[in-house]
Structure 1
Amino acid sequence: MEIAIETKKRVYRFGDKSADGNSTMKNLLGGKGANLAEMSALGIPVPPGFTITTEVCTEYNALGQETVLGMIKEEVEDAVNNIARIMGTEYGNVDNPLLISVRSGARVSMPGMMDTVLNLGLNDEVVHGLVAKTNNERFAWDSYRRFIQMYGGVVLGMKPESKEDIDPFEEIMEHLKEKRQIELDTQFTVQDLKDLVYDFKDAVKKRTGHDFPSDPWEQLWGAVIAVFNSWNGDRAVYYRNMHGYPAEWGTAVNVQAMVYGNMGDNSGTGVCFTRDAGTGENVFNGEYLINAQGEDVVAGVRTPQQITKLGSQRWAELAMVEEADRAQNYPSLEELMPQMYQELFAHQATLEAHYKDMQDMEFTIQDGKMWILQTRNGKRTGAAMVKIAVDLYKEGSIDEAEALLRIEPNKLDELLHPVFDPKAIKRAHIIAQGLPASPGAATGQLVFFADEAKKFRNTILTRIETSPEDLEGMNLAKGILTARGGMTSHAAVVARGMGKCCISGAGALKIDYKNRTLTVEGKEYHEGDWISLNGSTGNIIEGKVATIEPVLSGEFAELMAMADKYAKMEVRTNADSPKDAKVARNFGAKGIGLTRTEHMFFEVDRIKAMREMILADTVKGRRQALGDLLPMQREDFEGIFEAMDGLPVTIRLLDPPLHEFVPHQLATQKELAEDMHISLQAVKNKVAELQEFNPMLGHRGCRLGNTYPEITEMQTRAIIEAALNLKAKGIASKPEIMVPLIGTVKEFLEQERIIRSTADEVFEAYGDRVEYLVGTMIEIPRAALLADQIAEHADFFSFGTNDLTQMAFGYSRDDAGKFLPIYLEKGLLIVDPFEVLDQEGVGQLVQMGTERGRKTKPQLKVGICGEHGGEPSSVEFCHRMGMNYVSCSPFRVPIARVAAAQAAIKANMVH
């Protein structure tokens, strides 16, 4: 693809209470750059800087490094000089140096997924100028060693060569710590830091074959290119795919003047949240470190202290630290630097009020001056998401519609998962305590490396600290446990974004990667041992702990009530049993959109009768076997109708091919032959006869009912008798009988004839009637094309988008796993069409079927019952099509309810 090189603005400045951009420009400036510009214009103390736009990243990927650097060179140099002017310094000047940071900034928050480099501009000469300027030799050399370490890893590729290896720079530092018999980086002397600088540079030369770059401009361009490259790094690509973010977005690059939290005991750095990211409570909270740089907090290298006194006391309780000891050794920022705390508190209040959402902020205190480095809408758990949205509505910050739009529907899934049984918790053996970084309950087997998270079915990824490289393993694991880090560490922030249970900062854990062991107070646990994590309390528990279903109330119930006020479509459920029907009804389902009758035949007492029916050679023999099945089917339908009590229930007649019901194992075939008093060969012959080359397109659906009308008769009788039996008990039923897989009008008419004549027989026998509908599932493209003709006879349409997707794409859902991941990786498909409805292709068939059907019958009831019925973007599409309902699995009903409300709100905003 050829991209024209336009003359346009590619660099946007901010700082000194002014800015070229604002928070509405996230697509161009990235989230970080847009918010830095906005904060600067608000008068928040932001270090001056500039943003290279996301469009430049796209140009870089298309045109290459040399062309793009030439395009932005002049603008970048002018912008660097502007930073120097504001700060009263000069980039590369030995006596009055400007040092800068280079950070990524996608339009959405991707914590830790891309690269950052701090302290650019340092070299062997500038470090001495920094010493003279600050009169702080330790600070200058500490900044220099940090710069080489970070630049070496990010730009020069100095990463560990295998998972058992440690970072080459960390290895050098560990050797020095052992030699000096110290534990913390802050215990290094000035001479230690000087030695580390030169040892680091030697390591770079040895690994790369080149000297560490000393030219500040070479350093800057190297860092900019590294950020652009990190957009397509493994962890960023994985994160994008996980969240469905397009590769075309690109990342911005943010360059800022450095401010320093490592200038001594009057300096520090931290991360804070305007509300609790785990629970959603309206409590200002966060963590900080004295004499540190920002990466120290999120990397979890040192376990940080709490910002507020209240938070410090809570932390002390969890860590089992006495209050007197806590106040002495772990003071809050509120206690240690009250003036800085008050400034920070005022800024957080300003920013939340301005953005009308919970903010995640980074700050640095440099020698008693407060700087705000970043703000963004904070990552939060599903529970916090709901509470914050509802609370902001109650506080008057946002209206109901905005509260609903703040919800990520899929994230509600977190609230529907089991929690630990309180009775089992009372008996549990707690082996250690950490910080409750992300709530939830997780039980799994210990693994110590991210790439082994799928080693067992359920795993707990256990690390000293996590890094962005661990992302895939964190996603696969049931829970995450770290020995270091706080509530704002990488593990905590990413886990909350994923909705994963996480405990961080469990200092009592001794983790040995080499031997794959976890030791707690002398007891050793090995890879594969079971542990449980209570992410709400920070308790680490030995073995498995039983769970129970969650109770949904409070803000969640309020949110659901809001959703129902706005939604135009109803949400039904796909349920094959009374139990599933009750669960869905408790979640707010307004009926059943799909009951799959074949699922009822697989139980032990029923499969035998089903097989006898299949093996029967005569209609009489089939009717006899179906007669045994009739009371069982009737009982099932009575249970489902009773659970739904007055709500509509759509029942699909038998759909799968008969070969799915016959035994394929020799032992089971022998057993069936003995039960039926026929030969084993007769059973084998029938199994072979039923085998099909392409069962998906074979003898199934309405084709079975039209070949063996006695099957349709039995199922109709069971449905109508069940409804009449319940009517006699005063329980209303609304059966909707659905004919599957029709491709011609005559197929439907033949099934409808059987259904209605059978129902009339039952009504006559009972001397009573119930209202019922006969409709069809539109799942073959030809049915969508002939929808106007089918609608002359059908009472309703339900789109079966699973099969419609298979037939429209020509993909077998059972076999697509062999190539779909490759297609997604190569960008041949943007999303899996079996997970997200293909609106461009399959959607046209749905639209055509709906419009043609309603042209014939304007009041035709239309719904969707494929897996897409619970996927938010697909629900929005169904709203645009004017459907009456979507149907989805029970646990996705709340998700679909919110998605339906959001679709209605968005449509209203457009109009």
Structure 2
Amino acid sequence: MKLSQSIHFLSNTESLKKNIDKTILGIRGRQLNEFSELGLPVVPGIILDASITQALHQNDPMPVLLPLLKKMGTVVKKDFDSAENPLLLKLVISSNLVIANYPTLHNFGLAKNTITGFEEKVGKDFASHEVFFLLRGLFSIQLSIAELQADEIKIGVYKDLLNKISGELKKEKCTETGSAVMDAYQQYLPEGFFNTAEDQLKITIQLISTMLSLDPDNENDVALLIQPLVYGNYDKESFSGKFFSRNIVTGEKKLQGMFFQEKFDEADADGKDINEIKPAYLKQLESIAWQLEDHSKDVREIRFTIEAGKLWLIEQKSVEAKSTIALVHFLLDLHKRGIVDAEYVVKNVKPGQLNEILHPVINTASVKNFQCSKGGIAGAPGAAVGRVYFSADSLIEAQRIARLQSADTRCILCVPASYAGDVKAIEVSTGVLSNEGGYSAHASVVSRQYGKISLVRPDMKIMANKAVIDGVTIKEGDYITLQVPYYGESTVYFGAAELIEPDPKTSGLLDFIALTRSFIQNFHVRANADSPRDAALAISFGAEGIGLCRTEHMFFNEKRINIFREMILAETTEDRIEVLKRLQKVQMEDFYGIFKAMEGREVTIRLLDAPLHEFLPHNEAELEGFIEHLKKAGKKTLSKKALLDEVAVRAEVNPMLGHRGCRIAISYPEIYAMQIRAIFEAAYKLQKEKIETHVEIMVPIIMNFRELKQIAYGKKIEGHAYLGIRALEKEVREKLKAEPIDFKIGTMIELPVAALSAAEIARYAEFFSFGTNDLTQTTLGLSRDDFNNFMPDYTLYDLIDGNPFAVLDPGVRELISIAIERGRLTRPDIKLGLCGEQGARPENIPFCMEAGLHYVSCSSYSVPIALLAIAQAELEKAENEGRKLTPKKVS
């Protein structure tokens, strides 16, 4: 092949012919051609394609190159090998690999006959620096050749030379002129290297070709790109700069970056906001940036140089560091202008990325000088700032004082592990830092439910009112910042960072959710919500109902907890019922608010599940608070010792498998009776207000159909009657003279035995909700709060695949499938959902859809993530089936 057929010229007005094989241009060559086709003001280039680069040390390319260099010089108004206005070149070794270890080769054309002209343009100091830069690139090539030839003597020589040059480049001022530098190093270079620019270029190309021909990893796919260097320090109309095509944190369509007047680049230079550059240049830069965005369908980072008033695009690439808010805004902008369709928008956001858009993000500039510690297990992603407190009570008290003083109320709970009594603190905190458990630990689960941040640091040491991380001591009241990304390494910053708060409306999240929902067919997302506020938030995030209302959380409210403790410690059933009457009123108000907020959507209420002992006082402050409560209420008081004895009597060795859920209902039917009455009082009150309700009452921890049958339909034995849910509903309806409403009774399948006996249970259950947190624990025999202590050993030896409390275990999946199949045999129209934390994980969504579930339920803050995972699964299914999924209108 003739050299002329393999050497190509490109500029903003001249691109390659369509029939040329682009694979032999390398990545950088293809990129240059792409920009050339777009007509962008790219620096012109000459590509020596891969078909000849390995033979150039045996062939002289200069006869073909010289006319093209002259043509190139005309474009940039310089002349190659000119003494007055020299054209200097950069040589880019363009492989097909994204990452290649080839050196940077700049300033070729700096020779004895051109150095003076260059010095007049940029100054002697800068010119000398550029000679050193040229030498560093060339010696790197020569070192590579020596290594490929295993020439130990030359390897040592070139390594020494490179170390010496690196030292010179670090100096602020060069003490020698460019010509003197050339003289000093000529002895290590091919003869006549600095005589003329033409000789220099020829020698360099031949050295590059030699290196490529010797490289055993070179698959004959490396091209060589030659481009002129342009300088932002030529005169007062010269600039350099780097910017993003839009704000990479907020997504605002406004350039973000800096420019530097009379500077080669931004190194050690004071820059100005890119938007303050001369209007004519700004208009050009905006046009380039947004043209590149539309073409690449991505936010771009752009480097440019303006040399003597002429703008040149130097480099542009994707921005990996852009926030999810910026990405979503960008995609919605493309969609609004018809550049992409809705399917493209939905496919190009990873579900996990939405965590970032739902929580504050750190302004990285604010933590530039902060001491920090990296590592840990992400429990609930996001960023949080607050003062550290080491117990729920101390945190709540600190917040109370801060409110009175109009001070900062942001607090972070720092505990070894959290328990039911800590929920009240997690709810009002900004985040939780713990050192036991992991993604599925209590602190992490509750944090996700309340939209808080959770980080587990197993290496943290907690001692009374201080903690130590990486040798840094955190005292009570000290500020820390938690940065917990969904992808990547978590960080604790010691100090208060500046946060950028998200707004679902301005962030583009709500518009994105609407697009996402337009692709969802017959599978839905509900929310785990325990309050009207959570319910309203869930609806705004696209939830189509509540799949889990944990009623036990309602009793941890500081105004209710001591009343609930009264009920637990009541000496007689009659005393217990009297206390329950007081709780029934507040329960009814809870349910009324939730039903009203849900506006006719399904609401699944799980009757009390937590073991009763979890509600009892567990520390000195709680003991004293309860005794004070009894005194104020005029009730019989107990001494601390007597109270501790009562607590001890009710303690359980293994409460997770103990007296909880439906087992409480069997022993204390009056507790569930109170909740049932409150539910239907709320529903019938709303009926009078013409507000529709769809109530689903869920009985937890069922192990056989007899339990559910008794709780749903009641039972009579000699001298005793157990009132079931249906009898209690009728009692309330008749008392309020109301019309019957739609309601369902179902159960949570969270024990293997329940899954296996689903056919019998479905005779009395109108819906199943799979509680996969407990189903995973009881199937695998693993405690979600403790397994992280030994799980690293198991993953080291591949004894288990990942975290079973995040991604459903195959055994758990099989039990779910069995329960679905057997349940449908008995009740074909049974409604099926999954309300464990795994429901929000994108990895589990396809299984849930294929298994025949109707919905998943997750925390309000995870609803958008689940929706996106479902939409992407629907799109993938349609694509695999060779059909186009048309977006539907979403109300």
TM-score in terms of structure 1 length: 0.59
Q: What CA distance in whole angstroms lies between the structure 2 residues aligned with 1:51 and 1:655?
A: 71
User: Contact 1:48–1:83 at 8 Å: present in 2 too?
Assistant: no
What secondary structure is seen at the aligned counterpart in 2 of 1:398? Answer: coil
Pairwise CA distance, 1:635: 2.0
What secondary structure is seen at the aligned counterpart in 2 of 1:593? Answer: strand
Read off the aligned partner of 1:458 and give its amino acid letter: V
Q: What CA distance in whole angstroms lies between the structure 2 residues aligned with 1:543 and 1:906?
A: 43
Read off the aligned partner of 1:773 and give its amino acid letter: K
Matched, 1:907 2:874: no
What secondary structure is seen at the aligned counterpart in 2 of 1:685? Answer: helix
Alignment gaps of 5+ in structure 2: 1-6, 69-86, 145-162, 186-203, 377-382, 388-429, 432-452, 454-476, 482-494, 631-635, 714-723, 882-891
Deviates more, 1:899-908 or 1:277-286: 277-286
Matches within 5 A, 1:47-446: 118-119=103-104, 141-143=128-130, 177=172, 191=177, 260-261=229-230, 265=234, 270-282=241-253, 287-289=258-260, 297=266, 301-304=268-271, 311-312=275-276, 331=278, 334=281, 351-362=292-303, 370=312, 372-376=314-318, 380-417=322-359
CA 1:628–1:285: 2 relative to 1, 3 Å: closer
Question: Counterpart of 1:552?
Answer: 505
User: Contact 2:698–2:748 at 8 Å: present in 1 too?
Assistant: yes
CA 1:909–1:271: 2 relative to 1, 3 Å: farther
Q: What CA distance in whole angstroms lies between the structure 1 residues aligned with 2:647 and 2:386?
A: 41
CA 1:856–1:98: 2 relative to 1, 3 Å: farther
Q: What CA distance in whole angstroms lies between the structure 2 residues aligned with 1:826 and 1:129?
A: 64
* Bigger Rg, which one: 2
Matched, 1:458 2:405: no
What secondary structure is seen at the aligned counterpart in 2 of 1:770? Answer: coil
Q: What CA distance in whole angstroms lies between the structure 1 residues aligned with 2:95 and 2:386?
A: 32
CA 1:688–1:885: 2 relative to 1, 3 Å: same
**CA offsets 1:432-474 (integer angstroms, 9 cap, x no match):** xxxxxxx9889989953444999x97389xxxxxxxxxxxxxx
Matched, 1:766 2:736: yes
CA 1:830–1:714: 2 relative to 1, 3 Å: same
Question: Counterpart of 1:562?
Answer: 515
**CA offsets 1:108-165 (integer angstroms, 9 cap, x no match):** xxxxxx998752699xx99878977996676664346568999999x99xxxxxxxxx
Q: What CA distance in whole angstroms lies between the structure 2 residues aligned with 1:448 and 1:706?
A: 56
Matches within 5 A, 1:408-557: 408-417=350-359, 447-451=369-373, 458=385, 550=503, 552=505, 556-557=509-510
CA 1:668–1:797: 2 relative to 1, 3 Å: same
Question: Counterpart of 1:232?
Answer: none
Q: 1:860 aligns with which of 830, 836, 839?
A: 830
What secondary structure is seen at the aligned counterpart in 2 of 1:883? Answer: coil
Pairwise CA distance, 1:176: 5.2
CA 1:452–1:559: 2 relative to 1, 3 Å: closer
Matches within 5 A, 1:775-786: 775-786=746-757
Q: 1:737 aligns with which of 697, 718, 723?
A: 697
User: Contact 2:661–2:701 at 8 Å: present in 1 too?
Assistant: yes
Question: Counterpart of 1:888?
Answer: 858
Question: Counterpart of 1:726?
Answer: 686
Pairwise CA distance, 1:598: 0.6
**CA offsets 1:341-377 (integer angstroms, 9 cap, x no match):** 96x7776566444434444344567997946544336
Read off the aligned partner of 1:404 and give its amino acid letter: V
Q: What CA distance in whole angstroms lies between the structure 1 residues aligned with 2:126 and 2:49?
A: 28
CA 1:260–1:800: 2 relative to 1, 3 Å: farther
Q: What CA distance in whole angstroms lies between the structure 2 residues aligned with 1:449 and 1:269?
A: 33
Read off the aligned partner of 1:749 and give its amino acid letter: K
CA 1:673–1:387: 2 relative to 1, 3 Å: closer
Pairwise CA distance, 1:651: 0.7
Matched, 1:581 2:535: yes
Read off the aligned partner of 2:786 and give its amino acid letter: D
Read off the aligned partner of 1:635 and give its amino acid letter: E
Question: Counterpart of 2:615?
Answer: 661
User: Contact 1:790–1:853 at 8 Å: present in 2 too?
Assistant: yes
Pairwise CA distance, 1:552: 1.6
**CA offsets 1:534-572 (integer angstroms, 9 cap, x no match):** xxxxxxxx9999999846269554433333322233332
CA 1:758–1:357: 2 relative to 1, 3 Å: same
What secondary structure is seen at the aligned counterpart in 2 of 1:756? Answer: helix
RMSD: 6.0
Question: Counterpart of 1:837?
Answer: 807
User: Contact 1:270–1:289 at 8 Å: present in 2 too?
Assistant: yes
Pairwise CA distance, 1:275: 4.6
**CA offsets 1:796-835 (integer angstroms, 9 cap, x no match):** 122223323434454422234545678789988786554x
Matches within 5 A, 1:602-617: 602-617=556-571
**CA offsets 1:594-626 (integer angstroms, 9 cap, x no match):** 111111112344223322332245444433433
Q: What CA distance in whole angstroms lies between the structure 1 residues aligned with 2:21 and 2:753?
A: 49
CA 1:274–1:667: 2 relative to 1, 3 Å: closer
Q: What CA distance in whole angstroms lies between the structure 1 residues aligned with 2:137 and 2:658?
A: 61
CA 1:555–1:707: 2 relative to 1, 3 Å: same
Q: What CA distance in whole angstroms lies between the structure 1 residues aligned with 2:128 and 2:241?
A: 22
Matches within 5 A, 1:866-881: 866-875=836-845, 877-881=847-851
User: Contact 2:839–2:845 at 8 Å: present in 1 too?
Assistant: yes
Q: What CA distance in whole angstroms lies between the structure 2 residues aligned with 1:649 and 1:773?
A: 10
Q: What CA distance in whole angstroms lies between the structure 1 residues aligned with 2:8 and 2:827?
A: 60
What secondary structure is seen at the aligned counterpart in 2 of 1:735? Answer: strand
Pairwise CA distance, 1:668: 4.2
User: Contact 2:26–2:223 at 8 Å: present in 1 too?
Assistant: no
Q: What CA distance in whole angstroms lies between the structure 1 residues aligned with 2:22 and 2:593?
A: 53
**CA offsets 1:217-263 (integer angstroms, 9 cap, x no match):** 89989xx99x9xxxxxxxxxxxxxxxxxxxxxxxx999976864558
Pairwise CA distance, 1:742: 2.3
Alignment gaps of 5+ in structure 1: 1-12, 53-73, 90-95, 108-113, 157-167, 181-187, 200-213, 228-251, 313-329, 336-340, 419-438, 461-476, 479-499, 501-526, 532-541
Q: What CA distance in whole angstroms lies between the structure 2 residues aligned with 1:449 and 1:658?
A: 44
Question: Counterpart of 1:595?
Answer: 549
Question: Counterpart of 2:775?
Answer: 804
User: Contact 1:145–1:193 at 8 Å: present in 2 too?
Assistant: no
What secondary structure is seen at the aligned counterpart in 2 of 1:664? Answer: coil
CA 1:332–1:665: 2 relative to 1, 3 Å: same
Read off the aligned partner of 1:562 and give its amino acid letter: L
Q: What CA distance in whole angstroms lies between the structure 2 residues aligned with 1:371 and 1:384?
A: 23
User: Contact 1:593–1:887 at 8 Å: present in 2 too?
Assistant: yes
Q: What CA distance in whole angstroms lies between the structure 2 residues aligned with 1:824 and 1:15?
A: 54
Q: What CA distance in whole angstroms lies between the structure 2 residues aligned with 1:667 and 1:596?
A: 26
Q: What CA distance in whole angstroms lies between the structure 2 residues aligned with 1:152 and 1:664?
A: 72
Q: What CA distance in whole angstroms lies between the structure 2 residues aligned with 1:126 and 1:776?
A: 80
TM-score in terms of structure 2 length: 0.60
